[in-house]
Structure 1
Amino acid sequence: MSAVPGPDALSAPRPPFTAVAIAASCVGFVLVGALQALYGPVMPTLQREYGISPAVAGLSLSAQFAAAALGVLVYRLLNGRLGHRTLLGASYVLMALGASAFALAPVWPVALAGAFVIGLGFGGVVYGLNHLFTVGFGRRGSAMLNLLNGHFGVGAVAGPALVGWLGAKNYPGIFIGVAVVCVVVLLTLGGVTAQERETVLEVTSRRDVRVAPVIAAFIGVYVLHVAIETGVGGWEPTHLESVGYSAATATTATSAYWSAMTVGRFIVVPLSLRFSAPAILTACCAGMAGSLLLATLPMAAPYAYVGVGLAIAPIFPTCLPWLNRAVPGVAAAGAYVMAASMLGGVTFPPLLGVVIDGLDVTALPLTLFALALACMLLGTGLRRNAPDPDAEPRSARPAAPPEMQT
């Protein structure tokens, strides 16, 4: 029996990276994970050094998030003209320059500008690598994206740990170190083999879907899961202390939550080779909702938040390939979704704070539970209205002939 070319033969004629470039991409995601997590531990030092208030110091993270969303859109806009290799290189250079400026800034406005420049490069690296991993690895796309984004979590855990080990007063050296590693990663970009002119996705699906509602639903899933992610990360310590746990226990539990997000992505790597993206999203939404409901019980709350971390971890990297297959004619869909999720990370924490002020911090799990249910409803709608054409079980057995498939 002659083999019939499948979608992978069209969508991934060759890997987008050499083995060295794949490893360097994982290092790049360790860097962006660390850059996102470094601001929190050094906030008190920034306040003392520059004589600023906590709210003003917090603008550093907001500037990075906002610039990252802009960086995603700029990367997408210039991609057809400059190509991935050039834009990834420029993004790493921006991160290196921004990190150096933040470390050496004599006054706060210069440090804030450095954070903004970091964000531009941050957005480019996050979008560029996620996009290449999405379109370049065929059925392995979800697995490779979870592997890549798992290293983001490694950086998010390692960055604060490095601050704790070296001391917050030495944060300039840490940011300079990040800049140096960015320059080293630049040397591996020759291993980025994929070039722009990606027309393959347009021939992988013949289905007629209403594009705008589908993209809007994916944006909703991403914004809601980021809202839950940042809501737990920002408010879990306060909630646990309000129900009787010590500050030390609450801090440890929050670290366990972030660690669970990292572990969850590595765990799902082999699972994503066997189960479809819609099935994984459904399981993740159910896991988030169930864990948040369990978190209403004080005795179970610290462990329930770990469950939230495990459940939420695979959503971002698993749904990107599904989005690309669901709207194959809209190459910028991933950019829209990523930019929206980054802006959600800026806007939702203060909105959640308003809700908690109006109710009580003990209402945190139920508030986030409602968001998880909304995310589940959107996922169910996507599964029905934009079914994944690659959604058959990912087992090793041979595929049935077309006339026998259901």
Structure 2
Amino acid sequence: MKLFGVVSACAAFVLIGALQALYGPAVSAFRADFGISVPVAGLALSAHFVGGIAGVLWYARSPLTGTRKLAASLVAMAAGAAGVAVAPTWPLVLAAALVAGVGFGGIDYGCNDMFARAFRRRGSAMLNVLNAHFGIGAIAGPLLVGLLGPHRYPAVFLGFAALSLLLLPGLRGSAQVPADPAEPAVTPARIRRRGLLAAFIVLYVMNVGVEAGVGGWEPTHLEAIGHSASDAATATSVYWLMMTLGRFLVVPLTLRVSDRAIVIGSCVGIAVCLALAAVPGLAIVAYAGVGLFIAPVFPTGLPWLHRAVPGASRAGAYVFAASMLGGVAFPPLLGAGIEQAGAGSVPVLIFVVNALCLVAIWRIVRTESTRPSTHTQRV
């Protein structure tokens, strides 16, 4: 894969991180411009995620070459962002957010899949670098809106659209990587791979549920145990910052430790930190630890998936799509649990979700250990 393509992909991840994070700070301006309630304004992010799922599935099934699919995704993201900026009615804003989400999903899945297959031995390291740039954008986007003011969101979205189009030459010049082989016959080995795929889907859905659950409910828990709203908000920002730093810090480790060991160690570390978060005096530091440990799971699990499940290009699409559903579903589900058990239960409820990650990992490891030697294959 060409250096210019790598740099362009990292820049694209800064943009998609910023795009996902722009909707929240723009809520007040959406309400003022269109006369809508907070829940209705929140539909913009929901439309974005629905579009993201569609973008992932389109990318996996489209007959176009990888570089053309990435270019089309950039164009869709730019068109959608421009539409959000200039749409005269709220339904058109939602439609534009959906289109932008399609491009978002294509870039997110396409670049991750391309890195996983292009960088065989260094796949985990490069995927962590790539996804760390997503965090940079997620931190920078809200800061930009805060600096300019929410009422300037049209200018921010238009600038985002222009930057997306500027990346077209770089991603169009990315090297092609070979497609994963297909298996037409239904064999015992293929049935076993489907079981592995199901376990990876559970791992990713639950892991994203933990990520979104902490990001969404950490402030509620911290305020319930006596911290001020401003301190709780700052602590949540530190959680996202630690996630970004963690992906850079794990890069040297990926060259010496297996992907499986990193994912297992990370999920165990998350469990320990969530248990410590139940102790009021340790909660803020513990949540920062969750951010550090959760950082490598998503990108480091992808090379593991590609090795464990032959034909993982299509499998990865299902994992990505399902993980986005997890990000949409778990915050309200956790909210319902918190309503019943109280805000102090936040770390306990998220601990249970992470425990399901560990169950999925156990299933993957057990299935891999029973793999017949004649079917062992590195993808």
Instruction: Report the TM-score range of the alignment, normalised by the length of the smaller protein.
Output: over 0.9
Counterpart of 2:25, as a letter, is: P
3-state DSSP class of the match of 1:187?
helix
Q: Which residue number in structure 2 is paired with residue 26 of structure 1?
A: 10
Counterpart of 1:74, as a letter, is: W
Q: Which residue number in structure 1 is paired with residue 292 of structure 2?
A: 310
3-state DSSP class of the match of 1:188?
helix
Change (3 A) 1:211 1:46: same
Matched residues in 1 for 2:178 and 2:86: separation?
A: 37
Cα drift, residue 266 of structure 1: 0.6
Matched residues in 1 for 2:92 and 2:10: separation?
A: 30
1:225-277 deviation per Cα after TM superposition (whole angstroms, max 9, x unaligned): 11111111111111101100011100100000010110011111111111111
Contact 1:142 1:269 in 2 (8 A): yes
Give the unaligned 5+ runs of structure 1: 1-16, 390-406
Q: Which residue number in structure 2 is paired with residue 237 of structure 1?
A: 219
3-state DSSP class of the match of 2:281?
coil
Q: 2:250 aligns with which of 263, 268, 285?
A: 268
1:117-165 deviation per Cα after TM superposition (whole angstroms, max 9, x unaligned): 0100000001110000011111101110000000000000000111111
Equivalences, count: 368
Change (3 A) 1:25 1:387: farther
Alignment partner of 1:55 is 2:32: no
Matched residues in 2 for 1:338 and 1:386: separation?
A: 21
Contact 2:49 2:328 in 1 (8 A): yes
Q: Which 10-residue stretch deviates more, 330-339 or 148-157?
A: 330-339
Matched residues in 2 for 1:201 and 1:41: separation?
A: 46
Contact 1:32 1:155 in 2 (8 A): yes
Counterpart of 1:294, as a letter, is: L
Q: Which residue number in structure 2 is paired with residue 36 of structure 1?
A: 20
Q: 2:162 aligns with which of 171, 180, 204?
A: 180
Alignment partner of 1:341 is 2:323: yes
TM-score under structure 2 length normalisation = 0.94
Counterpart of 1:90, as a letter, is: A
Change (3 A) 1:320 1:329: same
Q: 2:306 aligns with which of 324, 349, 355?
A: 324
Cα drift, residue 189 of structure 1: 2.7
3-state DSSP class of the match of 1:306?
helix
Matches within 5 A, 1:220-259: 220-259=202-241
Contact 1:322 1:388 in 2 (8 A): no
3-state DSSP class of the match of 2:167?
helix
1:340-367 deviation per Cα after TM superposition (whole angstroms, max 9, x unaligned): 0001111111111111111111100011
Cα drift, residue 197 of structure 1: 3.8
Contact 1:209 1:327 in 2 (8 A): no
Contact 1:326 1:388 in 2 (8 A): no
Alignment partner of 1:376 is 2:376: no
Matches within 5 A, 1:10-25: 17-25=1-9
Matches within 5 A, 1:279-290: 279-290=261-272
Give the unaligned 5+ runs of structure 2: 372-379
Contact 2:70 2:110 in 1 (8 A): yes
Q: Which residue number in structure 1 is paired with residue 115 of structure 2?
A: 133
Cα drift, residue 187 of structure 1: 1.6
Change (3 A) 1:142 1:259: same
Q: Which residue number in structure 1 is paired with residue 338 of structure 2?
A: 356
Matched residues in 2 for 1:241 and 1:186: separation?
A: 44
Matched residues in 1 for 2:158 and 2:230: separation?
A: 31
Q: Which residue number in structure 2 is paired with residue 403 of structure 1?
A: none
Contact 2:180 2:310 in 1 (8 A): no
Alpha-carbon RMSD across the aligned residues, in angstroms, is 1.9
Percent of aligned pairs with the same amino acid: 50
Higher helix share: 2
Change (3 A) 1:196 1:107: farther
Change (3 A) 1:341 1:83: same
Q: Which 10-residue stretch deviates more, 369-378 or 300-309?
A: 369-378
Counterpart of 1:191, as a letter, is: G
Change (3 A) 1:330 1:236: closer
Contact 2:29 2:150 in 1 (8 A): yes
Q: 2:278 aligns with which of 292, 296, 318?
A: 296
TM-score under structure 1 length normalisation = 0.88
Matches within 5 A, 1:160-179: 160-179=142-161
1:40-96 deviation per Cα after TM superposition (whole angstroms, max 9, x unaligned): 111111111110011110000011111101110011110xx2110111000000000
Q: Which 10-residue stretch deviates more, 167-176 or 332-341?
A: 167-176
